[in-house]
């Protein structure tokens, strides 16, 4: 057997010999020599390791099969790591799936900015260095009523920059009921510590009164901060202090009042039949000196942290050396500007902003789509599984309106009979293995696809023929 193994291994062609063939010359021209060499070596090593026993005695090198395997490996290596997926989880703003999808106008604007020089920090009128935030500041001030605005790379960075600028080596007063933790174990107390300021907790988890803030103010107090608990809700025997009362207290004591809205939205969602979520304009009207919120959640734009407030505070934020470390690039600014412009035309906002379109989608429309798609899913899974319609309760996601659910419809795929056919996990894996992966959720031993966010119905149906267990 050892003799056969050695002979079979000697029969394998060398890397150089293979690379000099027409087939591999074509691969080199397409993928480049370094990648092809690596693929050839890896496949030859695998074949050499497999040449043992009877397999070695009957082995014949199949060049065509080897070329095909090498091409498949190269294709897989060059497949983008970030890939489009169908978000059928029922969570509209899914953090793990990139949160808010961009509207077409933003995608076109970003493509232009990516492929050509732009006046990112150049004042075309004065032929001098400019400030990159000005490209979106005019829209943010118009939409929120704030005198000035700053943009950083996410809302955590916005809170960090605000605290480091306004409260370095001093205290910031926050209610215990607002010491939130968001995804990735990000906690308000931790970010305050890293920003160089000290947290001064007041009140209790469920009840905080104005006197708690009043008694906590000392010579070391730098600001009062209110954090919107956008990712959870405390109910029952509760009490909190209004933004107007906190603003009045802060201003009487000569302190800035900061409001962190977290998710943040620029319009009253109630007008679209959704639960009301506080807006930056409302917070500023109540007396906030600075408001921070996200660009990629309810606002429906790119990942960004937005700070709007008084001109004095905005100037101080821009002078902080950390601002440069936290700034956004030209693609983010371009996308954000395009999204903000949509808000200037409320009549078109629902149709053009994907996030708002999905959140306001009528259950009857989703149900009609389910009825169209269901027969195709049933045909694809065959007799090994069962596909049926199911009532769903979508959620907004990304820490927005955590207790509110949206009536929806979906398709559940489960075993054809108890203990027969593929499990829910295996079914889910098969759908994720499609050319454009389908991401749903496991519920009651079934793979569930909530169709609320399914825009490309034709593309979804067309690839079902490739479903394989």
- Quick check: is 243 in a domain? yes
More confident residue, 418 or 11: 418
Residues 167-207: tens digit of each pLDDT: 999 999 999 988 877 655 568 888 888 999 999 999 987 88
Letter string b/e over residues 84-102, b meaning 16 or more CB atoms within 10 A of that residue's CB: ebbbbbbbbbbeebebbbb
Q: In the prediction, which pLDDT does 402 show?
A: 54
CB 170 within 8 A of CB 197: yes
More confident residue, 341 or 14: 341
- Quick check: is 50 in a domain? yes
Residues 41-93: tens digit of each pLDDT: 999 988 888 777 666 666 778 889 999 999 999 999 999 999 999 999 999 99
Q: Do the bridges between strand 438-439 and strand 171-175 make them parallel or antiparallel, or are there none, so unpaired?
A: unpaired
Residues 252-263: tens digit of each pLDDT: 999 999 999 988
Q: Is the pLDDT of residue 2 over 60?
A: no
Residues 15-35: tens digit of each pLDDT: 999 999 999 999 999 999 999
| Angle at alpha carbon of residue 84, lines to 295 and 77, rounded to 5° | 125
Q: Which residues are 443's β-sheet partners? A: 446
Percent of the chain surpassing pLDDT 90 = 79
- Quick check: is 368 in a domain? yes
For the chain, what is the domain count?
3
Place of tokens 């820490």: 399
| Angle at alpha carbon of residue 437, lines to 431 and 438, rounded to 5° | 55
Q: In the prediction, which pLDDT does 229 show?
A: 79
CB 384 within 8 A of CB 378: no
Which tokens hold the place of 13?
Answer: 């062609």
- Quick check: is 256 in a domain? yes
Residues 103-142: tens digit of each pLDDT: 999 999 999 999 999 999 999 998 899 999 999 999 999 9
Q: Do the bridges between strand 290-294 and strand 257-262 make them parallel or antiparallel, or are there none, so unpaired?
A: parallel
Q: Is 341 exposed, middle or buried (0-12, 13-18, 19+ CB in 10 A)?
A: middle
- Report the pLDDT averaged over residues 327-349: 95
Residues 37 and 90 in one domain: no
Residues 161 and 181 in one domain: yes
Which helix (H) or strand (E) segment holds residue 154: the answer is: none
> 266-270, 298-302, 316-320, 394-398: which range is least confident on average?
394-398
Q: Is the pLDDT of residue 1 over 50?
A: no
Which CATH number fits the domain that encloses residue 417? 3.90.1150.180
- Quick check: is 383 in a domain? yes
Q: At 225, is the secondary structure helix, strand, or coil?
A: strand
Q: In the prediction, which pLDDT does 404 show?
A: 66
Residues 311 and 379 in one domain: no
The dihedral over CA atoms of 8, 67, 26, 78, expressed in degrees to the nearest 10, equals: -120
Residues 62 and 155 in one domain: no
- Quick check: is 240 in a domain? yes
Which tokens hold the place of 308?
Answer: 């709007």
The C-alpha atoms of residue 129 and residue 123 are separated, in whole angstroms, by 6
Mean pLDDT, the chain, whole residue set:
91
Q: Is the pLDDT of residue 247 over 80?
A: yes
Residues 265 and 321 in one domain: yes
Q: In the prediction, which pLDDT does 233 show?
A: 63
- Report the pLDDT averaged over residues 319-333: 97
Residues 405 and 322 in one domain: no
The C-alpha atoms of residue 223 and residue 221 are separated, in whole angstroms, by 6
Q: Is the pLDDT of residue 295 over 90?
A: yes
Residues 329 and 408 in one domain: no
Handedness of CA 88, 90, 95, 99 (dihedral sign): positive
Residues 422-464: tens digit of each pLDDT: 999 999 999 999 999 999 999 999 999 999 999 999 999 999 9
Residues 330 and 387 in one domain: no
Q: Is 268 exposed, middle or buried (0-12, 13-18, 19+ CB in 10 A)?
A: middle
Sequence-separated contacts (24+) of 414-422 with Cβ below 8 Å? 414/385, 414/386, 414/388, 414/445, 414/446, 414/447, 415/385, 415/386, 415/445, 416/383, 416/384, 416/385, 416/386, 421/384, 421/385, 422/384, 422/385, 422/469
| Angle at alpha carbon of residue 258, lines to 252 and 264, rounded to 5° | 140
Q: Which domain holds residue 450?
A: 86-94+359-466
- Quick check: is 99 in a domain? no
Chain centroid to CA 51: how far? 47
- Quick check: is 170 in a domain? yes
**Three-state secondary structure of 286-310:** CCCCEEEEECCCCCCCCCCEEEEEC
Given 294, 326, 352, which residue is the final one in a domain? 352
Residues 110 and 130 in one domain: yes
Q: Is the pLDDT of residue 299 over 80?
A: yes
Residues 339 and 250 in one domain: yes
- Report the pLDDT averaged over residues 4-21: 79
Q: In the prediction, which pLDDT does 12 show?
A: 84
Given 311, 326, 352, which residue is the final one in a domain? 352
CB 331 within 8 A of CB 115: no
Residues 339 and 363 in one domain: no
Which CATH number fits the domain that encloses residue 129? 3.40.640.10
Residues 237 and 258 in one domain: yes
The C-alpha atoms of residue 304 and residue 152 are separated, in whole angstroms, by 6
DSSP of 234-251, one letter per residue? --SS-B---HHHHHHHHH
Given 328, 352, 376, which residue is the final one in a domain? 352
pLDDT band at 230 (very low <50, low <70, confident <90, very high): low
């Amino acid at each position: 057997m050892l003799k056969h193994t050695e002979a079979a291994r000697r029969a394998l062609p060398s890397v150089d010999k293979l690379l000099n063939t027409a087939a591999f010359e074509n691969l080199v021209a397409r993928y480049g020599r370094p990648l092809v060499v690596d693929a050839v070596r890896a496949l030859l090593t695998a074949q050499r390791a497999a040449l043992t026993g009877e397999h070695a005695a009957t082995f014949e090198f199949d060049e065509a099969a080897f070329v095909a395997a090498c091409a498949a490996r190269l294709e897989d290596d060059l497949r983008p790591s970030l890939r489009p997926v169908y978000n059928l989880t029922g969570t509209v703003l899914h953090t793990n799936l990139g949160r808010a999808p961009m509207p077409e106008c933003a995608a076109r604007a970003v493509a232009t900015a990516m492929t050509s020089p732009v006046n990112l920090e150049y004042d075309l009128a004065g032929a001098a260095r400019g400030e990159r935030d000005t490209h979106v500041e005019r829209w943010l001030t118009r939409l929120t009523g704030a005198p000035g605005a700053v943009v950083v790379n996410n809302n955590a960075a916005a809170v960090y920059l605000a605290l480091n600028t306004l409260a370095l080596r001093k205290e910031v007063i926050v209610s215990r009921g607002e010491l939130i933790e968001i995804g990735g174990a990000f906690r308000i107390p931790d970010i305050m510590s890293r920003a160089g300021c000290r947290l001064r907790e007041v009140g209790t988890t469920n009840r905080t009164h104005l006197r708690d803030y009043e008694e906590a103010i000392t010579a070391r107090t730098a600001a009062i901060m209110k954090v919107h608990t956008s990712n959870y809700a405390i109910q029952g025997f509760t009490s909190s202090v209004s933004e107007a009362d906190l603003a009045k207290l802060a201003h009487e004591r000569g302190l800035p009042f900061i409001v962190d809205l977290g998710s943040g939205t620029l319009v009253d969602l109630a007008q679209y039949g959704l639960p009301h979520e506080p807006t930056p304009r409302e917070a500023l009207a109540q007396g906030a000196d600075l408001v921070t919120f996200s660009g990629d959640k309810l606002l429906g734009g790119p990942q960004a942290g937005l700070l709007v407030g008084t001109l004095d505070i905005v100037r101080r934020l821009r002078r902080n050396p950390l601002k440069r470390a936290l700034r956004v690039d030209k693609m983010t600014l371009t996308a954000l500007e395009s999204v903000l412009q949509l808000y200037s035309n409320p009549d078109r906002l629902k149709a053009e902003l994907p996030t708002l379109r999905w959140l306001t989608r009528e259950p009857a429309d989703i149900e009609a789509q389910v009825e169209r798609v269901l027969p195709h899913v049933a045909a694809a899974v065959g007799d090994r599984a069962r596909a049926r319609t199911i009532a769903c309760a979508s959620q907004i996601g990304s820490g927005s309106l955590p207790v509110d659910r949206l009536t929806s419809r979906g398709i559940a795929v489960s075993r054809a009979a108890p203990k027969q056919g593929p499990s829910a996990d295996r079914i889910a894996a098969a759908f994720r293995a499609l050319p454009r992966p389908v991401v749903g959720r496991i519920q009651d031993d079934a793979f569930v696809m909530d169709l609320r966010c399914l825009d490309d119905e034709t593309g979804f149906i067309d690839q079902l023929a490739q479903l394989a267990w």
